[in-house]
Structure formats: structure tokens, C-alpha cells
């Protein structure tokens, strides 16, 4: 049985390598763009992307430790996280891998799923709130459906913050009824809601979340602006910021795994509305995916080598 598991893992690794090669081979425009780009700039972008991946990893680790009381070492978690980023070359495989590994630490699939719902909720609220504040200083005349963009963004942040709380209150009310108390789905849902509400009361966790969010927010902004100007140096600062805002909000709503195609179309529509080509938005998104993907693969390979050297454990036993 152990040999079969190892064989499956080896097969998955080779499949990921194949999909990685296919990704680079299918995106010749990105390859040409990178070939002609200033290599100092791409090195900066990759360094920023690696830092961003590390911050995402520490955000997850903070949730696992502070909210779920999972006893996992930093080294072990980083190995799991970076490997899952590599496996993400096949949509959803990285998430399944991460969930399977964390189950060994008594984190069931319900709670794992709850982590992603909670992170997306916090992320959407914080993004809209900070975009609302930042838009005061960035934009002078930008409006959305003839409304003030700052007021719209701040109002949306308040709405998205309130909706889960209203939903939680409604479930708590329903759980007082005998009919719902006996339903397994509602029992599990109530446990996730309790965890969600406890997160709002955990000041230490909220402080860590805010610090990590600000770090990722700033890094993403620099990545997008540097990336956009490397493709078209006529793009102004406020236009770069609008693209950064659009990319972040689009990616927060995960319609399909990694929002493949959806994000590209969304960015294409945005650049088209900004009087640039539709293709410009697609290239921006593909280029961004390449930078993050390359950084993730590089991190996964490098960290596995380091882990093997210092821990003297076989990679395929992880």
C-alpha cells in the first residue's frame, strides 16, 4: 500500500511538471515579453512574488494555530504549502493535497473549507475598505455608475462585512428549533459559524491578519504597477492603480478554480473600458500568472531541497 501511495505521488509530480511545461509552451506571448524585458525588473517582480507567497503561507499558519489549535511546525507547514502551490499547476490538485495533509493534524474537510470561506470574506471586506480609503487620494474624477467611487467602495465593504454576520445570526436562531438541531448539515454549519465568530473576537489573530493583509496589499500593488508599465509605459499611475484594484476584486470572487479564463476576460473588459485593447488586459493577467506561478514552482523546488538536506527525510513521505 505504501509503495502504491509513493507511486501515485511520483506520478502526480510528473503530471505537474508536464502541465508546467505545457503552461510555458502555450504562452508564447508571455515568453517573448519576458525575453525582451529588463531582467532587473523581472527579478524584482519574482522577488516580490516570492515574498507574497511566503506571506500567504504565514497567514494560513496563523489561522491554523490561533483558531484551530493545530500543532504543526513552521517548516512542515511551509513544505506542505509550497508543495501545494506546485501541485496547483493542475487546478484543484494543490487544494486537495493541502486538505489531505492537514487531515493528519486532525483538521477535517469541513474546517478546511471553512478556512477558505473565512479568508475570502476577510479579504473582500479589507480590500473594498482600503480601496475606498485609497481612492480618495488616487482618483479625482473616477466614478462608477455616476456615483462617487469612494462612497460606493466603502458602502460595499460595510455590506459584505454585515452579510455573514446576519447569516450567522439567522442560523443561530434556526438552531433553536428542534427540527434543525437534528440535521447534520446545520450542526456542522453551526460549528463553522462559532469558529468564524470566535475569529472576530480574537484580537491577536485580527492583528496578524491586518499586518499580513497590508503587506500583501502593498506587494501586489508594486507587482501590478511594475508589470503594467513594463508592458506599456504610457499607462499612468491612476490607471495602474485601477488595474490593480480590478484584478484584486475579480480574483476575490473565485467562480472556478484559480479563476482561470474568468480573470483574463475580466481584465480584458476592464482595459477595454479604459480605452486600451482587450488583449492588453489578457496579457497583464497571463503575465501576472506567470510571475506568481514561476515563483511558486521555484519556491517549492528550493524548499524541498533545503528540507531534505536539513531534515534527512524523503520528500515523498511528506
Res 159: pLDDT: 94
Give the range among 15-29, 64-78, 299-313 with minimum mean pLDDT: 15-29
Query: Is position 18 within any domain?
Result: no
- Flag whether 111 is in a domain: yes
Read off φ and ψ for residue 260, nearest 5 degrees.
-60, 135
In a domain, residue 138? The reply is: yes
Domain with 296, as residue range(s), is 30-317
Is residue 3, in this structure, part of any structural domain at all?
no
* Assigned domain for 96 exists: yes
Q: What is the pLDDT of residue 221?
A: 94
Average pLDDT, the chain: 81
Higher pLDDT, 209 or 15: 209
Q: What is the pLDDT of residues 164-199, one digit of tens each?
A: 889 888 888 888 887 777 777 777 888 888 888 888
Into how many domains does the chain fold? 1
pLDDT of res. 211: 94
Q: What is the 3-state secondary structure (H, E, C) of the chain?
A: CHHHHHHHHHHHHHHHHHHHHHHHHHCHHHHHHHHHCCHHHHHHHHHHHHHHHHHHHHHHHHHHHHCCCCCCCHHHHHHHHHHHHHHCCCCCHHHHHHHHHHHCCCCCHHHHHHHHHHHHHHHHHHHHHHHHHHHHHHCCCCEECCEEHHHHHHHHHHHHHHHHHHHHHHHHHHCCCHHHHCCHHHHHHHHHHHHHHHHHHCHHHHHHHHHHHHHHHHHHHHHHHHHHHHHCCCCCHHHHHHHHHHHHHHHHCCCCHHHCCHHHHHHHHHHHHCCCCHHHHHHHHHHHHHHHHHHHHHHHHHHHHHHHHHHCCCHHHC
User: 179-193, 233-247, 271-285, 304-318: lowest mean pLDDT where?
Assistant: 304-318
> At 12, is the pLDDT very low, low, confident or very high (cuts 50, 70, 90)?
low
299 part of a folded domain: yes
State the pLDDT at residue 316. 44
d(CA 301, CA 1): 26
Q: Which of 14-18, 193-197, 226-230 has the lowest mean pLDDT?
A: 14-18
pLDDT tens, position by position, 57-110: 999 998 888 888 888 989 889 989 988 888 877 777 888 888 888 988 888 888
Q: Over 70: is that where the pLDDT of 157 sits?
A: yes
Residue 1 in domain: no
Q: Quote the pLDDT of residue 234.
A: 86
pLDDT(207) > 60: yes
**Residue with more model confidence, 283 or 180:** 283
% of residues, the chain, pLDDT over 70? 82
At residue 37 the predicted structure's pLDDT band, cuts being 50, 70 and 90, is low
Rounded CA-CA distance 249/123 in Å is: 9
Name which residue leads in pLDDT, 304 or 17.
304
The answer as to whether 20 is a domain residue is no
The pTM of this model reads 0.82
Residue 315's pLDDT is 44
* Distant-in-sequence contacts of 269-273, Cβ < 8 A, 24+ apart: 270/242, 270/243, 270/246, 271/243
The pLDDT tens digits of the residues spanning 209-226 come to: 999 999 999 999 999 998
Q: How confident is the model at residue 266 (pLDDT cuts 50, 70, 90)?
A: confident
* Cα 21–chain centre separation: 23
Amino acid at each position: 500500500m505504501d509503495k502504491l501511495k509513493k507511486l501515485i505521488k511520483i506520478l502526480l509530480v510528473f503530471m505537474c511538471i508536464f502541465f508546467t511545461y505545457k503552461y510555458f509552451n502555450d504562452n508564447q506571448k508571455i515568453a517573448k515579453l519576458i525575453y525582451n524585458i529588463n531582467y532587473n525588473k523581472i527579478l524584482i517582480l519574482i522577488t516580490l512574488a516570492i515574498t507574497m507567497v511566503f506571506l500567504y503561507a504565514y497567514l494560513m499558519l496563523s489561522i491554523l494555530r490561533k483558531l484551530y489549535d493545530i500543532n504543526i511546525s513552521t517548516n512542515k507547514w511551509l513544505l506542505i504549502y509550497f508543495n501545494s502551490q506546485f501541485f496547483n499547476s493542475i487546478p484543484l490538485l494543490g487544494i486537495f493535497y493541502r486538505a489531505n495533509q492537514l487531515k493528519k493534524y486532525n483538521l477535517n474537510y469541513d474546517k478546511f473549507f471553512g478556512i477558505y470561506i473565512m479568508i475570502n470574506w476577510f479579504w473582500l471586506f479589507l480590500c473594498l475598505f482600503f480601496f475606498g480609503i485609497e481612492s480618495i487620494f488616487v482618483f479625482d474624477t473616477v466614478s462608477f455608475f455616476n456615483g462617487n467611487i469612494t462612497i460606493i467602495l466603502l458602502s460595499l465593504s460595510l455590506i459584505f462585512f454585515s452579510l455573514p454576520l446576519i447569516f450567522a445570526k439567522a442560523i443561530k436562531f434556526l438552531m433553536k428549533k428542534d427540527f434543525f438541531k437534528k440535521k447534520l448539515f446545520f450542526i456542522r454549519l453551526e460549528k463553522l459559524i462559532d469558529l468564524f465568530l470566535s475569529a472576530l473576537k480574537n484580537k491577536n489573530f485580527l492583528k496578524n491578519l491586518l499586518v499580513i493583509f497590508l503587506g500583501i496589499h502593498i506587494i501586489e500593488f508594486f507587482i501590478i504597477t511594475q508589470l503594467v508599465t513594463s508592458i506599456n509605459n504610457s499607462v499612468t499611475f491612476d490607471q495602474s492603480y485601477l488595474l490593480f484594484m480590478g484584478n484584486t476584486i475579480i480574483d476575490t470572487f473565485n467562480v472556478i478554480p484559480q479563476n482561470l479564463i474568468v480573470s483574463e476576460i475580466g481584465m480584458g473588459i476592464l482595459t477595454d473600458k479604459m480605452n486600451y485593447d482587450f488583449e492588453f488586459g489578457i496579457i497583464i493577467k497571463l503575465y501576472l500568472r506567470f510571475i506568481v506561478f514561476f515563483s511558486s514552482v521555484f519556491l517549492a523546488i528550493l524548499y524541498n531541497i533545503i528540507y531534505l538536506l536539513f531534515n534527512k527525510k524523503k520528500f515523498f513521505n511528506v
